[in-house]
Amino acid sequence: MDRESRRSVSGVVTLLTDFGLLDGYVASMKGVMLGINPAAVLVDVTHDVPPQDVRVAAFVLHTAHRHFPRRTVHLVVVDPEVGTSRVGVILDTGDALFVCPDNGVLSYLLAADGSAAERGPTLLDGAGTVRAAIPEGWRAVRIAESCYWLQNPSSTFHGRDIFAPVAAYLSLGEPVESFGPAMVSLRAFELPVARKLPEGGVEGGVIHVDHFGNLITSLRAKDLPKGSVMVEIGGHHIQGLVRTYAEGSGLVALLGSSGYLEVALPSGSAARLTGLGLDAPVRVVPRK
């Protein structure tokens, strides 16, 4: 297939891993991609995801991918099941392409489009994931065509030997359907939903703790009661919302840049102060 007939791409490839920077893993992946597409623009999202923490990777991807040029290729390798029967996938939303293991790392992306991933707390398989349908107008394929891989791929480094070359070929405009058969669903962990309370409040949970120790919750602006509110978390009661991290003293609550309600500690760590982390419950009630 000639270059003109290939699908439009931006030439940008982002990398999101749990590899850290002490070893040569990230550099090896970049070297493979540049060997296939020397003109690729490689952007590091982060390589500091806690080891094997798919939930953290999913949230970081969710908050970062939307800020890149259209038809960027997003490569995510946080892969606790590397070398097992789990499959690699490409998801094409029309606006962007995602290359990753099928392990739930696309959960927020699927839920944002209203898929079955955002239904409640029930876990339907041993890995804590469900099958979420591919939204209408999107395409997903299983990475199966080994002609796009490095020869003799390692059973422990699919990031370098399978996912990196696939991302590079996608950045050249290779059609998604060339890489393998279509998929109708992907693995996703179910995301907490806002639960309305009888007194007019709402309940959710902590879904991410960022580098500063801010507790990012599952509640968004649209979920909150109208007017002044009180935020309850870990026995703490926070009166009202502030606009910035510099306002107030002690624990504060605000709507962060990702659009979610956060609990923060000005010049400190809310996570350290409260001892709270993922899944900690949070309630927001009308302020009396």
Give me the pLDDT at residue 8, please.
83
Asked if 164 and 29 touch (Cβ cutoff 8 Å), the reply is: yes
- What is the pTM assigned to this prediction? 0.89
Q: How is 91-145 classified by DSSP, letter by letter?
A: EE-SSEEEEEESSSTTHHHHHHTT-TT-S-S---STTS-EEEEPPTT-EEEE---
Residue 61 parent element (H or E): helix 54-64
Give me the pLDDT at residue 7, please.
66
Residue 101 predicted with pLDDT over 80: yes
Q: Are residues 179 and 199 in the same domain?
A: no
Query: For residue 71, what are the CA distances in angstroms to 9, 65, 95?
Result: 5, 11, 5
Residues ≥6 apart with Cβ < 8 Å to 139: 91, 92, 176, 177, 182
Range of 137's domain? 3-188
Percent of the chain past pLDDT 70, that is, above it, reads 92
Q: Are residues 270 and 182 in the same domain?
A: no
pLDDT in tens, 145-179: 999 999 999 999 999 999 999 999 999 999 999 99
Give me the pLDDT at residue 1, please.
35
Q: Are residues 72 and 173 in the same domain?
A: yes
Q: How is 151-173 classified by DSSP, letter by letter?
A: SS--SS-HIIIIIHHHHHHHHTT
Asked if 239 and 230 touch (Cβ cutoff 8 Å), the reply is: yes
CATH of the domain at 106: 3.40.50.10790
